[in-house]
């Protein structure tokens, strides 16, 4: 489906065009923490703490920023349950579920092919 680009810079969305607003979505989905958060949510809704434990190495600040951006783009929903303490769950929207398919394939490809890549040697101390 071809969509008219709201920037008026070209007749359709084109990630190669510098002014196309679709680049912001590409940037979000190409981000490591976004791709991992989407993957973690494929199994169903999760609380912040569960996501943080699953995404080893992410700081609370970065995870919060990532989840907010994903919510802003409509990739996930944040549901607040009135309880003491407050209960918040994150879940993929249908748009997020559709993004999870190619991201899952990419994560699988990385795991299967890492040993075939050429990695630079660690810098000497």
pTM, full prediction: 0.82
**pLDDT confidence band for 49 (50 / 70 / 90):** very high
The label of the residue with tokens 């680049």 reads 23
Nearest to 39 by CA among 118, 120, 108, 114: 108
- Nearest Cα neighbor of 99 from 15, 23, 16, 41 is 41
Mean pLDDT of 15-37: 91
Is the pLDDT score of 62 beyond 50?
A: yes
Q: Give the chain's radius of gyration (CA, Å).
A: 17
Using pLDDT thresholds of 50, 70 and 90, give the confidence band for residue 65.
Answer: very high
Say if residue 105's pLDDT is above 90. Answer: yes
Q: What are phi and psi of 6, to 5 degrees?
A: -70, -15
pLDDT of 125:
61
Residue 8 has pLDDT above 70, yes or no: no
pLDDT mean over 17-37 = 91
pLDDT of residue 109: 94
């Amino acid at each position: 489906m071809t969509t008219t680009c709201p920037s008026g810079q070209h007749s359709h969305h084109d990630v190669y065009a510098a002014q196309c607003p679709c680049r912001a979505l590409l940037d979000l989905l190409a981000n490591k923490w976004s791709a991992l958060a989407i993957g973690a949510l494929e199994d169903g809704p999760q609380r912040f703490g569960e996501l943080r434990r699953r995404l080893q190495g992410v700081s609370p600040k970065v995870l919060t920023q990532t989840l907010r951006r994903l919510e802003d783009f409509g990739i996930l929903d944040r549901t607040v349950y009135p309880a003491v303490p407050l209960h918040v769950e994150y879940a993929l929207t249908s748009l997020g579920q559709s993004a999870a398919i190619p991201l899952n394939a990419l994560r699988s490809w990385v795991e299967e092919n890492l040993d075939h890549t050429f990695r630079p040697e660690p810098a000497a101390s």
